[in-house]
A = this chain, B = another copy of it.
């Protein structure tokens, strides 16, 4: 009785989520401490104290009708204004509240954007490897995903291949820096080069192309700077989530920031509000909207992830596994010995290591190791990785 499309989706259900459920199953058998679950980007750092303080202040201080009631589909005016001003302070942008649409996490925001702009057959360009859910999000609105092939070993975008992927049907480009799954950060030169290609395509085809910049890892950088993508290209909509910076992945809270210089700004922001409503989000959850607005300068300790990454890299070095040097986010992108990522992950599971094959990210032959786990998990996983490496040499 379920739909045909859905039948296929259920069958090929997200490799990430499948691993997450598998992890819960194995933990029941072997004990949680004996299963090394590197599958899901579920932060292991508790939310900063500012968040619980802010939640309680709102519960005690805000009248219940305002705190728990409907507001405009785009979110509370004061919350949107606070976010706009905070972005302006950090990135010298010129947002105001009309530029901000609160969303049910970045995932909700991306869907709202795509619903607002895509007609059937419109093309959306992504650069592999990319977060696999983009393919589902684009398919939700009958868009056509155009994949720019991976560019190992740096996994920085191949600018020429990117330019060639842009056509008269390109409605949007999705970038994600710091990148899931590679941990790579796009620098100013890269962002400028991508913008040049998009502007050239707009001119060539007489169209407008949106840049949808998916930025849940914006603050999670290690010794490098993440330039703000909207500063490089006018038609930018930035998607943000508080899932990582404040460890609130389950709360589903984020926003879209529409560059005030965006083409058709009024139409677009109206459409984002309508899309929020008709997709059934209605609005981002209310209490947590108000709470994050009080914590815009708070953050989890990024050093924690940097140290985790270093510890994991040391194990990979010991095992002789090849990987991409991570500059941000909390993923290590590792080459599957032998080249079969699914087989490598299956073998890893025998050693109670849960990794995600990157075929689902459009990049066969690699795997993603999410190191947003406890340092203890990384330490204890060492022996399993060493045995896995031995297995691979057999």
Interface residues of A (CB under 8 A from B): 1-7, 9-10, 13-14, 17, 20-21, 40, 42-44, 46-47, 51-52, 55-56, 59-60, 63-65, 67-73, 104-105, 107-112, 115-119, 122, 133, 136-137, 140-141, 171, 208, 210, 247-253, 263-264, 267-268, 270-271, 274-275, 277-288
Contacts and interface: CB of A to CB of B under 8 A. Distances in A.
B70 A208 contact: no
9 contacts: A3-B117, A10-B270, A20-B70, A40-B70, A51-B68, A105-B280, A250-B287, A251-B285, A252-B285
A227 B345 CA distance: 51
Report the copy number of this chain in the oligomer: 2
Given A10-B267, A68-B250, A282 B63 contact: no
A5 B122 CA distance: 13
A163 to B, nearest CB: 21
B247 A280 contact: no
A249 B2 contact: no
Given A1-B264, A42-B69, A47-B68, 9 more contacts: A2-B116, A14-B277, A17-B277, A52-B60, A104-B281, A107-B281, A140-B278, A281-B281, A287-B287
A208 B11 CA distance: 22
A252 B72 CA distance: 13
A250 B69 contact: yes
Given A108-B281, A133-B278, A286-B250, A1 B69 contact: no
A289 to B, nearest CB: 8
